[in-house]
C-alpha cells in the first residue's frame, strides 16, 4: 500500500488547480502586461485569481500580492516591515517555534541592527496575548506569530495577539502557510496587517504564494524592476501559478467544513491508535490543533529510522529530527515545548488529508506500531525484557500521558 501522509510538506496538485492552469501553460501563454488578445486573457485570469484569493481570505483584491511562495512572503513581511517602521524603532517580536523562513529572516535583521525578542511557548506550543503585551516596547516595529505550527499543529490565538499588537501601534504579521485552506482564515476577523500563504500547502502549485498587505500599510518593494504587482514585486507574473493557487484555495474553502470534520475524525483515530504505543507522547495542543496534524515522540527510538522504516512499507512521513540541511539536531519546535533532546530525537509527524482513506488510516496505525517496536528491539536505549527505556530523560518529571 502507498500512503501519502506528509501533507504539511506539500500536497498533490488538486484537479481544480490542474485544470485551471492548463490553458496558461499552453495556449494562453501571453505576458499579462502586454496589450494583445492572448496577453489580455492572461491579465484577466490574473485579475480573477486575485479576486478569488481575496474572497477566500475576506480581503480586498488590491490587498493580495502574488509571490514566489511562503518563504518569500515571510521574508518580505519581516524585512519590509522593519524598513517601513524604521523611524518608530528596530525592535521585532516573534516566537521560538516559527518556521525558519521567519526565524532566519529575524536573525538576519538582528545582524542588521534590529533587536529581536523570541517569545517562549508553553508545553503545548502556545503563545499568550499577555506574553506579547509584556514584550511590546515603544520602539517595537513588528510582531510576527504563526497562525499554526508546521510540526506540532498548534493553532495560536492570533486574533487576540493581533489586537494587543495593533492597539500598541506596531505592525502584526502572521505566517499562515499551514493554516490557509485547512482552517477558516479571515484577515478582517483576525485583524492582521500582513499574512503569508503558499499555494502548494493546499493543493495549488509549488513556487507560488501570496502576501496579504492590509490597505493603508505601506511596505517597500520586494523586487525592483518593471513595476509588476503594483510596483512592489516586479517580474513577469506567474499567471498559471496564480490561477492554480486561486483554484485550489477556492475549492479548499468551499469544502472546508466537511473536510475539517472528516480529517479531524481520521486524525482522532490515528492519535488514539498511536497513543496505545507505550512510552509515546502526543506533541502539540490536543484541541487547538490543525485537523490533519498527528505528531508524536516515542522514547528510545530515532525519528529518522522511523521515517526510513515507514518509507520501506510505502508510508511517507517526516520527523522533526530530519533537517533539510542533513543535520540530525532535534527540531527547535520540540525543544521549545520543553522536550529533552534525547526524546525530541524520537519524533514522528504524520499529516493527513481528505485523500487518506479509512484503510490507509488502519495501515498507518499498524505500520507505525510495528516499526516503533522493531526499532526499539534494536536500540541500546530500550530494555526488551522490561519493555521500557533503559533511561528516562525528563528533568521536570515525565508527563502524565507517558
Ligand atoms: C509555517 C511555514 N512557513 C513557511 C513555509 C515556507 O513555504 P515555502 O516552502 O512554500 O516557501 C513553510 C513550509 O513548510 C511552513 O510550513
DSSP string, 165-205: HHHHT-EEEEE-TTTBTTB---HHHHT-SEEEEEGGGTTS-
Comparing CA positions, the residue from 130, 117, 121 lying closest to residue 155 is 121
- Cβ of 17 less than 6 Å from ligand 1: no
pLDDT given for residue 325 in this prediction: 45
pLDDT given for residue 319 in this prediction: 94
Dihedral Cα 74, 219, 202, 337, nearest 10 deg: 30
**Most informative mutation of 11, 95, 176, 178 for ligand 1 (most atoms within 8 A of CB):** 178
Q: List CB contacts of 165: < 8 A, sequence separation 6 or more.
A: 132, 136, 143, 171, 172
pLDDT given for residue 398 in this prediction: 74
Q: Give the residue, by CA position, lying nearest to ligand 1 atom 4.
A: 70
256-389: CATH number: 3.90.1150.10
- Return the ligand 1 atom nearest residue 71 CA: 11
Output phi, psi for 265, to 5 deg: -65, -40
- Cβ of 95 less than 6 Å from ligand 1: no
- Cβ of 63 less than 6 Å from ligand 1: no
pLDDT given for residue 256 in this prediction: 98
Q: How far is ligand 1, taken at its centre, from the CA of residue 99, in Å?
A: 7
- Helix pair angle (239-254, 15-25), 10° resolution: 160
On whether the pTM is more than 0.85, the answer is yes
Q: Compute how many other C-beta atoms are within 10 angstroms of the C-beta atom of residue 354.
A: 17
Domain ranges of the chain: 59-230, 256-389
Q: How far is ligand 1, taken at its centre, from the CA of residue 206, in Å?
A: 11
Question: Is 316 one of the annotated active-site residues of the chain?
Answer: no
- Cβ of 266 less than 6 Å from ligand 1: no
Q: Mean pLDDT for each 10-residue chunk of the chain (402 residues)?
A: 97 98 94 88 96 98 98 98 96 98 98 98 97 98 98 98 97 98 98 98 98 98 96 97 98 98 98 97 97 97 96 95 60 96 96 98 98 96 96 78 58
- Return the ligand 1 atom nearest residue 9 CA: 14
Q: How far is ligand 1, taken at its centre, from the CA of residue 122, in Å?
A: 22
Q: Does domain 59-230 have CATH number 3.40.640.10?
A: yes
Q: How far is ligand 1, taken at its centre, from the CA of residue 169, in Å?
A: 27
pLDDT given for residue 114 in this prediction: 98
**Most informative mutation of 9, 70, 195, 349 for ligand 1 (most atoms within 8 A of CB):** 70
The catalytic position among 39, 223, 323, 381 is 323
pLDDT given for residue 129 in this prediction: 98
What length does the chain have? 402
- Return the ligand 1 atom nearest residue 150 CA: 16
CB 126 within 8 A of CB 80: no
Amino acid at each position: 500500500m502507498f500512503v501519502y501522509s506528509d501533507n504539511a510538506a506539500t500536497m498533490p496538485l488538486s484537479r481544480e488547480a490542474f485544470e485551471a492552469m492548463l490553458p496558461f501553460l499552453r495556449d494562453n501563454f501571453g505576458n499579462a502586461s502586454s496589450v494583445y488578445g492572448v496577453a489580455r486573457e492572461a491579465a484577466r485570469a490574473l485579475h480573477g485569481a486575485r479576486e478569488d484569493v481575496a474572497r477566500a481570505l475576506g480581503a480586498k483584491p488590491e490587498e493580495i500580492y502574488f509571490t514566489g511562495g511562503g518563504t518569500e512572503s515571510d521574508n518580505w513581511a519581516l524585512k519590509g516591515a522593519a524598513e517601513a517602521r524604521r523611524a518608530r524603532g528596530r525592535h521585532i517580536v516573534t516566537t521560538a517555534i516559527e518556521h525558519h523562513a521567519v526565524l532566519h529572516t529575524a536573525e538576519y535583521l538582528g545582524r542588521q541592527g534590529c533587536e529581536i525578542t523570541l517569545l517562549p511557548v508553553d508545553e503545548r506550543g502556545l503563545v499568550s496575548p499577555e506574553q506579547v503585551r509584556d514584550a511590546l516596547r515603544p520602539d517595537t516595529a513588528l510582531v510576527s506569530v504563526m497562525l499554526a505550527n508546521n510540526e506540532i499543529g498548534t493553532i495560536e490565538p492570533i486574533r487576540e495577539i493581533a489586537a494587543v499588537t495593533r492597539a500598541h501601534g506596531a505592525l502584526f504579521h502572521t505566517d499562515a502557510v499551514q493554516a490557509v485552506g485547512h482552517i477558516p482564515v479571515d484577515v478582517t476577523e483576525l485583524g492582521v496587517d500582513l499574512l503569508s500563504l503558499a499555494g502548494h500547502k493546499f493543493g495549488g502549485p509549488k513556487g507560488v504564494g501570496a502576501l496579504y498587505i492590509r490597505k493603508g500599510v505601506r511596505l517597500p518593494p520586494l523586487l525592483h524592476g518593471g513595476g509588476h504587482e503594483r510596483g512592489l514585486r516586479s517580474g513577469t507574473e506567474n499567471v498559471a501559478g496564480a490561477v492554480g493557487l486561486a483554484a485550489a484555495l477556492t475549492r479548499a474553502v468551499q469544502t472546508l467544513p466537511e473536510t475539517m470534520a472528516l480529517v479531524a475524525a481520521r486524525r482522532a483515530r490515528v492519535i488514539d491508535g498511536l497513543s496505545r504505543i507505550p512510552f509515546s507522547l502526543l506533541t502539540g495542543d490536543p484541541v487547538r490543533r490543525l485537523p490533519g496534524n498527528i505528531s508524536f515522540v516515542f522514547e528510545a527510538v530515532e525519528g529518522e529510522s522511523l521515517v526510513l522504516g515507514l518509507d520501506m512499507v510505502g508510508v511517507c512521513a517526516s520527523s522533526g529530527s530530519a533537517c533539510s540541511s542533513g543535520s540530525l539536531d532535534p527540531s527547535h519546535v520540540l525543544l521549545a515545548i520543553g522536550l529533552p533532546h534525547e526524546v525530541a530525537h524520537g519524533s514522528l509527524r504524520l499529516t493527513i488529508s481528505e485523500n487518506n482513506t479509512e484503510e490507509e488510516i488502519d495501515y498507518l496505525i499498524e505500520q507505525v506500531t510495528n516499526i516503533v517496536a522493531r526499532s526499539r528491539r534494536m536500540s541500546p536505549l530500550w530494555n526488551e525484557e522490561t519493555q521500557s527505556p533503559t533511561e528516562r530523560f525528563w528533568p521536570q518529571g515525565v508527563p502524565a500521558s507517558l
